[in-house]
Amino acid sequence: MSDITEILIRAERLHQLEKAEIVALLANRVDDAELFGVADRIRQRYVGDEVHLRGLIEFSNICKQNCLYCGLRRDNQDIKRYRLEPEAVIELAAKAKSYGYKTVVLQSGEDVYYTVERLQTVIYGIKDLGLALTLSLGEKTREEYRAYREAGADRYLLRIETTDRQVYDQLHPGMSLANRLRCLRDLRDLGYEVGTGIMVGLPGQSQESLAEDILFFKAIDADMIGLGPFIPNPATPLRAAAGGTFELALKVMAITRLLLPDSNIPATTAMETLNKQGRTIALQSGANVVMPNVTEGEYRQLYMLYPGKICINDTPAHCRQCIGGKIAAINRTIAQHAGFRSGKNLGQL
């Protein structure tokens, strides 16, 4: 039996891995199908064949931060900025509901126009629709997170991006890993379902640091873990960077499923950007969530984190139908409930 097979057998039973074992899986170039098969089996056993759809609303591309990799960074003068007013966001959420989504995800840059008061308006409006609500608004104070939670937000996504301090500091001028960790801790304390994640293939990121990232997801027992390849954006200082690969991002995702068997793991848009079948392959390698875009019109194009982003010329109705087809084609079903990690339902919140 190969070393890789042995590692996988143990991981499937115990959902634990040493750092060196994770590095061995990442470095391995021969038996990846075996890894993906084990991840798929664990996904099936713990979270079943249902795929949870989360309707993604990208409501503002204005950001005060300057992350080196991101097209929304404040120094990027090459994009037209937009923000939707609270009423328009609620309207999109209502449409998302009409397409059958049970959860909406509100995502934006760190846009100071969106004060607690304006967000409360949006959160109340969306909770009145009976939807589960995930926020992805970046770093805020504990008091702000508390206010959103009290207004009714259920979940919060904040990728750690990398746990490697040196890489983190290089990519995030004026930000700190310590504050990001503080945010994740506050979110957990406040009773959110907490999502995090990373980009794979960042400049300076090693296999060891990817292994540390995966162990971090396990250590904080993340409820959701979103991962994608880093895709260099020509409108950013990292335009000439090598970028990540679909294959490595998929491996990091599959190993994450080994360690967090009942977490919610999306098949991400960035994966499909690098591989036409990326989300389908991810759903068969450990993922159980998809986040179709429900943003409308030109805003889709303007929310340009990285180039080549899929669906920028498609409508929400088209994406809903498209993703439904992909899920049916692999004999999976679309969940008809909110899809909390531990099967909690909205009534309990």
Binding residues for S-adenosyl-L-methionine are 161, 180
> Does 165 participate in binding ligand FES (rule CB under 6 A)?
no
Q: Residues 311, 327, 335, 338: which binds ligand FES (CB under 6 A)?
A: 311
Cβ-based nearer residue to ligand FES, 322 or 346: 322
Task: Kindly state the smallest distance separating residue 271's Cβ from ligand FES, in Å.
Answer: 12
334 binds ligand FES (CB under 6 A): no
Q: Residue 228 Cβ, how far from ligand FES at the closest point, in Å?
A: 15
- Residue 229 CB, shortest distance to ligand SF4, in Å, is 15
Please identify, using beta-carbon distances, which residue of 250 and 291 lies nearer to ligand FES.
291
Applying CB under 6 A, among 123, 187, 305, 319 the residue interacting with ligand FES is 319
Question: Is 323 a binder of ligand FES (CB under 6 A)?
Answer: yes
> Which does residue 306 bind out of ligand SF4, ligand FES, ligand 5AD, none, counting CB within 5 to 8 angstroms by kind?
ligand 5AD
Please choose, out of 3-11, 113-121, 259-267, 318-326, the segment that lies near ligand FES by the rule CB under 6 A. Answer: 318-326
Smallest distance, ligand FES to C-beta of residue 52, A: 15
161 in contact with ligand 5AD (CB under 6 A): yes
Asked if residue 230 binds ligand 5AD (CB under 6 A), the reply is yes
Is 8 a binder of ligand 5AD (CB under 6 A)? no
HEC secondary structure over the chain: CCHHHHHHHHHHHHCCCCHHHHHHHHHCCCCHHHHHHHHHHHHHHHHCCEEEEEEEEEEECCCCCCCCCCCCCCCCCCCCCCECCHHHHHHHHHHHHHCCCCEEEEEECCCCCCCHHHHHHHHHHHHHCCCEEEEECCCCCHHHHHHHHHHCCCEEECCCECCCHHHHHHHCCCCCHHHHHHHHHHHHHCCCEEEEEEEECCCCCCHHHHHHHHHHHHHCCCCEEEEEECCCCCCCCCCCCCCCCHHHHHHHHHHHHHHCCCCECEECHHHHHHCCCHHHHHHCCCCCEECCECCCCCHHHHCCCCCCCCCCCCCHHHHHHHHHHHHHHCCCEECCCCCCCCCCCHHHC
Query: What residues line the site for ligand FES (CB under 6 A)?
Result: 292, 311, 314, 318-319, 322-323
